[in-house]
Structures are given as C-alpha cells and as structure tokens.
Amino acid sequence: MELAVGCFFTFGFVRKEVGPRYFLIHGLGALFFSVLIFLWLGREVVEPRAQIWILVFWLFGFAFSLRPWFPLYLGASTAGFLGLTLQVFHLGPLAPLNVLLSTSFLGFSLMAMLLGHWYLTQPKLSIDELMRLTWGFIASATARSIFSIIQFIRVCGGRSENEILRFLMADTPGIFLLMRLAWGILVPLGLSYFVWKTVKMRSTQSATGILYVVDLAVLTGETVSLYLMIQYGIYS
C-alpha cells in the first residue's frame, strides 16, 4: 500500500507532456496491486478507520488515472497518506512519520526507474521530467537517511561499545537494523549520485539500470524497516 500511494504522490512532479498513457498505465497498475494485497490480507490487518481512506484513495486514484486532473491527484494522495497514517498510529507517535518517509522513498525510487523506461516509447520527452523525479528521489533518500541515523543513535544511546557491537552482531533486532542501514540506506544514498550524473548526461538507459539496483535496495530496506517497527518498536 505504501508503494501504491508513493507512486501516486510522484505524479504531481511530472508534467502532462509524458502523455495520458503514463498516468493510465502506472496509476491503474498501482491500484491493481494495492487492491490485490488488500483482498489477500486487508480484512485481517487493516484498521477499520484506515479502510475508509484507502477506499477513498482507490476512488480518486482511479478517476485520476483516467483523467489526470490536479484536484483528483490531491484527493488520491491525501487519502492515501491518511490511510497509511491511521493504520500505524497505534504503534507510536513516530510511526506515521516513519511510514510517510518510507512511502515517499519507495514512490520516487520506483517511478524514476519506470519513467526511465518511458523514454523508450517517447524518445523526444524532455530530460527535465526524469531529472525532477531524480531530485525527488535524492530528497526523499536524504530525509530517510537523516531519520534513520537519528533513530539509530537513539537505539544505541547509553550502551557501551561492546554492548553496541553485541547488539548489532548477536541480537536479532540489531542484525536486522544493521542490514536495514547498510543495504536500505547507504546503498541507495550512494547510488543516488550516479543516478544524478547519468541523468545529467541524458543517459536514460544507464540511469534506469542503476535505479534497478536502487529499487531492490529500497524495497528490501523498507520491508526490514516495517518489520523492525511492528515486531520490536524500532523506527529506522
């Protein structure tokens, strides 16, 4: 659901020059997978209050996919973020912020890669569209990194060096936290420079190839982040 809402959030950062098919294909695709996962697990895990806003997200999202109109985009994004926030609100005051940062990070990384593919169908499309999503990805990666580092310091605060080492190497939550930071934060943050350089050189295929690796790292990292938050109450 985070991935679907994140995809819709990025639609506001590209212009209509990408063509209506861009919004139709990616919008309906995001809605299809979010509906599929809801039908599979929704009745068991989704909070009743969140279900209402998820339904509103689907309605606005479907309408926007057919007709890319800003009020519909605003409605879909707002409803999606509200649904995600209500779903995790009971986990703690930082849980909504953690989820919103994750949603933005997932959305920009995936949609930058998919937009890179879109240049194969529209080779004359301005590179500014991909550059805009690239900057959005870099901004979301930076915000996510700052949040994760602060939370890492909080988790390890008050421990001795030996205790920190034992926590990261021997305790289950520590091992997952280390994996989350190394693979889910450092890798995307490091690769963001190369994405920006290749986009700046107008090498959309190279940028898309790098973004494949970025997406794998982000998806893995955010999955581990959700696990740590739900299972151990650790925000990352």
pLDDT one-digit tens code per residue, 74-85: 999 999 999 999
User: Residues 118-163: pLDDT tens digits?
Assistant: 999 998 999 999 999 999 999 999 999 999 999 999 999 888 889 9
Q: For position 40, what pLDDT does the model report? A: 86
pLDDT of residue 175 exceeding 90, the answer is yes
Using 50, 70 and 90 to split pLDDT, how confident is the model at 88? very high
CA of residue 131 relative to chain centroid, distance: 18
pTM to 2 decimals? 0.95
Q: For position 47, what pLDDT does the model report? A: 87
Contact 53, 83 (CB under 8 A): yes
- The CA distance from 136 to 134, in Å, is 5
Q: Which residues contact 128 (CB under 8 A, 6 or more apart)?
A: none
234: left (phi over 0), alpha (psi -120 to 50) or beta: beta
User: Residues 188-203: pLDDT tens digits?
Assistant: 999 999 999 999 999 9
Written in H, E and C, the secondary structure of the chain is: CHHHHHHHHHHHHCCHHHCHHHHHHHHHHHHHHHHHHHHHHHHHHCCHHHHHHHHHHHHHHHHHHHCCCHHHHHHHHHHHHHHHHHHHHHHCCCHHHHHHHHHHHHHHHHHHHHHHHHCCCCCCCCHHHHHHHHHHHHHHHHHHHHHHHHHHHHHHCCCCHHHHHHHHHHCHHHHHHHHHHHHHHHHHHHHHHHHHHHHHCCCHHHHHHHHHHHHHHHHHHHHHHHHHHHHHCCCC
CATH 1.20.5 for domain 92-236, yes or no, is: no
Using 50, 70 and 90 to split pLDDT, how confident is the model at 108? very high
